[in-house]
Every structure is written in structure tokens, then in C-alpha cells.
Amino acid sequence: MRGRGVASRHVLSRPGPMTWSGGLLWLALALLAIVALGVWNVAWVIRAFRLRHKGRDEDPDDGRGGR
């Protein structure tokens, strides 16, 4: 009985900080990935928007039915 209690307490006390730091690490990685994807998507949209407007300014008839 006493051995089992020590074992359960040992199991609970030992991986606690390990899983906590691991969870924080995975959370930080997930947030970093989400932020990176968001920045990438925003940059892609801005670049496509600028390229589209630049093309429209240089060539009004770009075959998109703008006339």
C-alpha cells in the first residue's frame, strides 16, 4: 500500500514540470506557426494586391473584362 502511494506520488511529481514545459513549448510552437502563417498570408495578399494594381495601372486592358 505504501509502495503504491509513493509510486503514484513519484509519477505525479516527476513528469508534472516536464509535461508543463512541454505543453508550453508546443503551445509556443503552435502560436509561432499560426503567427507565421498569418504574416505570410497577409504579405501574400498585399503583394498580390500591389501587383494587380500595378498591372492595372500600367495596362488598363489586361484581359480581366475591365472595359
Q: What is the pLDDT of residues 3-52, one digit of tens each?
A: 555 455 554 455 555 566 778 888 999 999 999 999 999 999 999 999 88
Number of domains in the chain: 1
Tell me the whole-structure pTM to 2 decimals: 0.44
Does residue 34 fall inside a structural domain?
Answer: yes
Does residue 12 fall inside a structural domain?
Answer: yes
Q: Is 39 left (phi over 0), alpha (psi -120 to 50) or beta?
A: alpha
Residues 6+ apart with CB under 8 A from 60: 66, 67
Structural domain span for residue 37: 2-58
Does residue 64 fall inside a structural domain?
Answer: no
Does residue 23 fall inside a structural domain?
Answer: yes
Does residue 50 fall inside a structural domain?
Answer: yes
Does residue 19 fall inside a structural domain?
Answer: yes
Distance of alpha carbon 42 from the chain centroid: 13
Does residue 67 fall inside a structural domain?
Answer: no
